[in-house]
A and B are shown apart, each in its own frame.
Chain A
Amino acid sequence: MTTESQTPQLSYEKPLPPVLELTKPFWDGCRESVLQFQFCNICDLPWFPPAEACPRCLQDDWEWRPISGHGTVWSWIRMWQKYFPGWSPDEYPYTVALIKLEEGPYMYSTLVEIEDKDVSCDLSVEVDFRKVNDEITLPVFRPMST
């Protein structure tokens, strides 16, 4: 193992999500490069962020199902303000995007494999994954491959 691959693990200071019983399948999926939403087994509605019941049926008869991972950039910003620890000075400004997934729900995320000057609203994107540690792999989005 090279120093390079150890260092990010040890020094990762950006916020990490707590894993709950409710959200564990989401993060388990990400680790296997599968993006999943909860879907209602009664009415087939997907929703995100996770919740204990279908917001339409109000029933807890739901399951995690893989989604396409395809969406569009609803909007995006470049964050200059230093609100959190963990971003090094040369990472500012960093990009945050709000992705509208094909299935309907929206997710905040970031964009990879694209320069800011090429980003625009409604850009077609697909999910990719970035491993942070043994538990957390974050879904990110890259321009849709043609």
Chain B
Amino acid sequence: MSNQPDRSALRNLQDKTAIVGVGTTEFGAIYRDLDPERSAYELGLIAFREALKDAGLKRTEVDGVIVSRLPHYGRMCEMIGLRHPRFANVLPGEGRQSGIALQYAALAVANGMADVVACIYGNNGRSAGAKYGGESRGISTQAMFEAPYGMTSPGAVTSMMFRRHQFRYGTTTEPLAHLAISNRANAALNPNAVMQRPLTMDDYHGARFIAEPLCLLDYCLINDGGVCFIVTSAERARDLKHPPVLLHATSQASDITPVYVADDFWHEPMSQIADDLFSYSDVQRDDLAFAQLYDNFTPTMLFTLEGMGFCEPGEGGDWITPERIGLHGELPLNTGGGHTSESYMQGWALHVEAVRQLRQKCGERQVDDAQYGLYACAAPLATGHILKRDDR
């Protein structure tokens, strides 16, 4: 590993930037109101408007924009009247990009490319009939070497990984049920969540299989929505409406294979991220008031907990207990309900929930002593951040 860059340089970014405004659409309300004309840009626009209001910033103070899942930054900039951004681009509409959007915004702000960067996400997947599986056209690897066997969908590859985890460590679906039930319990306290009816163990075990061993309740929702977070310098943030939520530490690592799955359940990239986050900051695992873990499917949370060293590889199944992961437990997880119950905003709403928890504005679902919180996404391209409430 002699040719590794000096990761301690990541320290230079510590506490330099902050999320100062967050906005979302009303997830529950529009879930029940399908609209084939609803555009992802409209959803992004609503979220941007909310985030500006939240930050107490004027539209004209924004000089940078990163969009994701929205096909083009240009259309979004037109719609928000941003004619001369100094920093603008688009990230692919993959969930793993939400954490990357924050990283790029922070890098741009910390290095002087822009003062105020709006990261905007819009998703009209439910109205547009997105299925997240069944693609068989074109000349992709998927079309040529997977679809002929009926192999498709991110859920199916995650199910492959979970089955392997079961084989290797004797893991049962019990911890997955705990995760799904806990997410739903948190969503029940979140007025904006799509799914609010509490779940029982019987509900979980009675749910239909999608790609066995995973069932419907292991899967994220498919719903429409928009999310925006606004990033600026810590210095400027201190003059705005809310206590700043600082980007205290952040990191990216990866394991990119042709078959998506990783033999070690992404232990290597997630442990590299944990090393960065915990080595180059004064914050340790015990200091975290919560973790918002990417949960496209429940096993992804288990892989993340193991990879980031909350427990040893293979011990996630025993570690995940309702007491430990609940709102007043040792490490509350996905406090807003996550992708399986709040809203499938591909990591974007998890960032918003982290900010709101650190501002201590989460009402009935507020966790205790929210000074530091974690966001992490295990995927072929993985990210993690520690966010910090600034009380200065």
Contact = CB atoms under 8 A, between A and B. Distances in A.
Interface of A: 14-18, 20, 23, 48-49, 74-81, 83-84, 87, 93-94, 96, 98, 105-110, 120-122, 136, 138
B143 A81 contact: no
A7 B293 CA distance: 49
Given A77-B156, A106-B259, A49 B141 contact: yes
Contact of B259 (A77, A81, A98): A98
A80 B168 CA distance: 24
Given A80-B210, A83-B152, A83-B153, A74 B164 contact: yes
Given A106-B259, A121-B164, A138-B148, 11 more contacts: A15-B148, A16-B148, A18-B138, A49-B145, A83-B134, A84-B136, A87-B150, A106-B261, A107-B145, A121-B163, A121-B167
Interface in B104-160: 131, 133-134, 136, 138-139, 141, 143-153, 156, 159-160
Nearest to B263: A74
Contacts of A18: 138-139, 143-144
Contact of B160 (A77, A80, A87): A77
Counting from the closest, the 8 A-B pairs by CB-CB distance are: A15-B136, A83-B134, A15-B147, A121-B167, A78-B212, A17-B144, A75-B164, A75-B160
A83 B131 contact: yes
A17 to B, nearest CB: 4
A79 B156 contact: yes
Nearest to A80: B209
B132 to A, nearest CB: 9
A98 B153 contact: no
Contacts of A138: 148-149
23 contacts: A14-B148, A15-B147, A17-B144, A20-B139, A20-B144, A49-B144, A49-B145, A76-B163, A77-B159, A79-B150, A79-B211, A83-B131, A87-B150, A96-B151, A98-B160, A98-B259, A98-B261, A105-B258, A106-B259, A106-B261, A107-B145, A108-B145, A109-B149
A17 B143 CA distance: 6
Contacts of B208: 80
A136 B147 CA distance: 14
A49 B210 CA distance: 26
Interface of B: 131, 133-134, 136, 138-139, 141, 143-153, 156, 159-161, 163-164, 167-168, 208-213, 257-259, 261, 263
Contacts of A74: 160, 164, 261, 263
A18 B144 CA distance: 6
Contact of A93 (B133, B143, B209, B261): B209
Nearest to B211: A77
A106 B164 contact: no
A121 B209 CA distance: 20
Contact of B258 (A78, A106, A120, A121): A106
B159 A15 contact: no
A136 B144 CA distance: 11
A72 B133 CA distance: 26
Given A17-B144, A18-B144, A121-B164, A96 B212 contact: no
A89 to B, nearest CB: 14
Contacts of B148: 14-17, 136, 138
B258 A23 contact: no
Contacts of A83: 131, 133-134, 150, 152-153
Contacts of B258: 48-49, 105-106
Contacts of B210: 80-81
B324 to A, nearest CB: 28
B212 A14 contact: no
B261 A108 contact: no
A138 B146 CA distance: 11
B134 A84 contact: yes
B261 A81 contact: no
A49 B257 CA distance: 10
B222 to A, nearest CB: 13
A135 B159 CA distance: 32
A79 B211 CA distance: 5
B261 to A, nearest CB: 7
Contact of B152 (A84, A93, A120): A84
Given A49-B144, A121-B163, A84 B211 contact: no
Contacts of A93: 209, 212
B163 A108 contact: no
B163 A94 contact: no
Contacts of A76: 160, 163
Contacts of B164: 74-75, 121
B139 A81 contact: no
B392 to A, nearest CB: 49
A122 B167 CA distance: 9
A4 to B, nearest CB: 22
Contact of B149 (A75, A96, A106, A121): A96
